[in-house]
Amino acid sequence: MTKGRLEAFTDGVLAILITIMVLEMKAPHSGEAELQSLRPVVPAFMSYVLSFIYLGIYWNNHHHLFHAVQRVSGLTLWANLHLLFWLSLIPFVTSWMGETHFAAWPVSVYGAVLLMSAVAWDIERRVLLRHHPTDSPIARALAGRRARKEWTSLVLYAAGIGLALASPWLACALYTVVAAMWLIPDRRIEREIFASPPAAPPSTPAGTAEQRKGTVRAAQQEATEITEEGLVSLGSFLRCLRLRSTPEIVL
């Protein structure tokens, strides 16, 4: 199966998630027109910025990953939906974290959603590797042992989940560090894509053109013969009708 619809669906879902997050930010209703009236909105804005960066990172890396993908399967579609499920929870935990001014449990749950999103991303990566040959660009870029950055991200997420119960702001600092690590997409994919030579156009075997011309001529000749036979049969049929319609003259 082709990957076009999967990419379009993922792009649409991520765009909707970003829109939902920004709509959750409410303007202050105090009636004041000074900057101090925006102070209650600052936590919600900070959580929105962090979540926006994370969704942008996933979109960017998803785009890079599927640029090297040659085919998708039904299992790939479900793996991608699994990733989108966890990403779709980001607006909820973002709003909860902002409205509670980065309380302990919302920050911890936020980290759990980020951790499960990272796990879902790794599952989709493994599914894609299973459905591609070992000499494909995506296999050369992602096969083998997990990179250090992936391991570090999972460890920091897990540490942030536990640390949020004691120091939510320190946990958010760990989440920010992970986001900074992934701002630049995976360079392994870019290197493999640029290093792979462009696919050569399929060569035409010798004699194929002549065989095709001979086949066309034979088909044309057969069509001509069928047409001539049809005209002869039609002429005979019309003569029979004319003879039957002519009245006999009795002397």
Instruction: Please spell the DSSP secondary structure of 36-79, one letter per residue.
Output: GGGGGGHHHHHHHHHHHHHHHHHHHHHHHHHHS-----HHHHHH
Q: What is the DSSP letter of 136?
A: S
The answer to whether residue 32 sits within a structural domain is no
Average pLDDT over residues 89-96: 96
Retrieve residue 69's tokens: 């993908």
68/181 same-domain check: yes
189/127 same-domain check: yes
Per-residue pLDDT tens for 32-82?
667 777 787 888 999 999 999 999 999 998 888 887 777 788 898 999 999
Task: Please tell me the predicted confidence (pLDDT) of residue 58.
Answer: 95
61/176 same-domain check: yes
221 — alpha (psi -120 to 50), left (phi > 0) or beta? alpha
Nearest by Cα to 96 from 188, 24, 172, 202: 24
- What are the residues whose beta carbons fall under 8 Å from the beta carbon of 184, sequence distance 6 or more? none
The answer to whether residue 202 sits within a structural domain is no
**Rounded Cα distance, 77 and 83, in Å:** 10
Contact 181, 117 (CB under 8 A): no
Nearest by Cα to 147 from 124, 183, 117, 122: 122
Tell me which of 222 and 206 has the higher pLDDT: 222
pLDDT at residue 26 is higher than 70: yes
57/171 same-domain check: yes
Lowest average pLDDT, out of 12-16, 24-28, 30-34, 74-78, goes to 30-34
Nearest by Cα to 93 from 141, 54, 150, 123: 54
**How sure is the predictor about 202, in pLDDT bands with cuts at 50, 70 and 90?**
very low
The answer to whether residue 200 sits within a structural domain is no
167/47 same-domain check: yes
170/242 same-domain check: no
120/233 same-domain check: no
174/220 same-domain check: no
Quote the radius of gyration of the chain (alpha carbons, Å): 33
247/156 same-domain check: no
The answer to whether residue 111 sits within a structural domain is yes
The answer to whether residue 144 sits within a structural domain is yes
**How sure is the predictor about 229, in pLDDT bands with cuts at 50, 70 and 90?**
low
- Whole domain around residue 81: which residue ranges? 4-27+37-195
Tell me which of 179 and 140 has the higher pLDDT: 179
